[in-house]
Amino acid sequence: MNALRIALATTCITLASGVAYASDVEVKAVWVRGTVSGQQATGAFMEVTSQSGAAIVGASSPVAGVTEVHEMKMDGNVMKMRAIPRLDLPAGKIVKLEPGGYHVMLMALKQPLKAGDTVPLTLKIEGNDKKTETIEIKAEVRDLTAAPMRNGHKQ
Amino acid sequence: MPAIKTLATLFLCITLLLSGCSEPPAFKSTDITGADWGKAFVLTDPTGNIRQLTDFRGKAVVIFFGYTQCPDVCPTTLSTMRDTLALLGEEAKRVQVIFVTLDPARDTAEVLGQYAQAFNPSFIGLRGDEATTAALAKEFKVFYSKQKGPTPETYSIDHSAISYAIDPQGRLRLAIRHGEAPEIVAADLKLLLAGK
């Protein structure tokens, strides 16, 4: 019986580290850029899909004092980054949080994030029924110097 | 005599024609040769030594201004420069990548040193005090503006995402766009190293 419980728990953890589902929201390819000691902030990136339409309305993580959803935009040659109160997830569309666009900003970090570590993240999702729920995900920490996919200019 | 005169004229014509044909070097980045700005810097490295542009004579210098809490543009640019050096092979020894912080309040010497060297041990992170940073940004036409965060310590900084290339003679030559491919940056740096 105990063995079965452990097996079930292991399966759940394995699922959680790869793909996380709420009722209709799927989060994939979650990663966080690592930091050097003393560095107070970094970004988390992922792919989020809602089957029936939803929005990310908040985020939190035990490793950060402050967590926000940010949008990065190039205004000419100037990089501008702003917190956004909600990130819409149109039905059936993959919304990518990736360098050059959106990210979950982890600030006031409580510890350096080392490549290979796992960081828990909670996303607050508002469904199209206006009800909010939370999704627990686990983000793999990649090296600080991880290069993004090169897909041209984001201007 | 008329024959010599004709020959001389012909020679002059050919010379003019040839010089007209020698095109300017084919830089992919924006050529800003002759700029009367971005001529010098005096900053401090993470070990406390004063470093200035003249220290790097004989090397092509790539200089980028940012801050370590930048989650996106700064690490992407430094990764590009790391990949550029890898493409340059032996010639990379004649290139110096410099990361200047626009956030000296939070980017202590220790954080800045570790951060720059994480990308490539040869990269140098440099900093000045707030006044020096502001004056230098002006000198290099770098825009930056602090944006309030949810707490006093969690501000972000809007900033220019351009890198500059300086030739081995210490002259500002190229403005490299954000998101440029390492292959392009490497080709441009090769031209600068070849004295173009």
ipTM of the complex: 0.82
Are B168 and B192 in contact by the 8 Å Cβ rule? The answer is: yes
Contacting residues of A for B140, CB less than 8 Å apart: none
Contacting residues of A for B161, CB less than 8 Å apart: 74, 77-79
Classify the C-alpha dihedral B109-B148-A119-B68 as positive or negative. Answer: negative
Distance from CA of B122 to the nearest CA of A (A): 14
Within 10 angstroms of residue A21's Cβ, the number of other Cβ atoms is: 12
Are B38 and B172 in contact by the 8 Å Cβ rule? The answer is: yes
Q: Which residues pair with B165 in a beta bridge?
A: B62, B174
Measured between alpha carbons, how far is B135 from B191 in angstroms, rounded to an integer?
30
Please give the pLDDT value at position A147.
73
Are B163 and B98 in contact by the 8 Å Cβ rule? The answer is: no
Contacting residues of B for A74, CB less than 8 Å apart: 161, 178
Find the CB nearest A145 among B79, B110, B153.
Answer: B79
Q: What are phi and psi of B86, to 5 degrees?
A: -60, -40
pLDDT digits (tens, 9 = 90+) for A109-141: 999 999 999 999 999 999 999 999 999 999 999
What pTM does this model have?
0.85
Helix axes B109-119, B73-88, angle to 10 degrees: 50
Q: Indicate yes or no: CB of A68 within 8 angstroms of CB of B83.
A: no
Above 90 in pLDDT, residue A16? no
pLDDT digits (tens, 9 = 90+) for A67-112: 999 999 999 999 999 999 999 999 999 999 999 899 999 999 999 9
- How far out from the chain centre does Cα A45 lie? 5
Distance from CA of B102 to the nearest CA of A (A): 13
Count of CB pairs separated by less than 8 Å, A with B: 120
Q: Residue A62 is encoded by which pair of tokens?
A: 């035990």
Write the CA distances from B138 to A138, B41, B131, B158, B159, integer angstroms.
Answer: 42, 11, 11, 15, 12
Helical segments of B63-158, H only = 73-88, 109-119, 130-139
Measured between alpha carbons, how far is B140 from B162 in angstroms, rounded to an integer?
10
A149: nearest CA in chain B?
B76
Find the CB nearest B73 among A40, A42, A79.
Answer: A79
Contacting residues of A for B150, CB less than 8 Å apart: 66, 68, 83, 107
Above 50 in pLDDT, residue A4? no
Distance from CA of B169 to the nearest CA of A (A): 27
pLDDT digits (tens, 9 = 90+) for B86-119: 999 999 999 999 999 999 999 999 999 999 999 9
Contacting residues of B for A38, CB less than 8 Å apart: 108, 110-111, 114
Please give the pLDDT value at position B15.
53
| Average pLDDT, integer, range B15-27 | 62
Q: H or E element: which one contains A25?
A: strand A25-33
Distance from CA of A110 to the nearest CA of B (A): 13
Please give the pLDDT value at position B23.
66
Distance from CA of B110 to the nearest CA of A (A): 8
Report the percentage of chain A scoring pLDDT > 90: 76
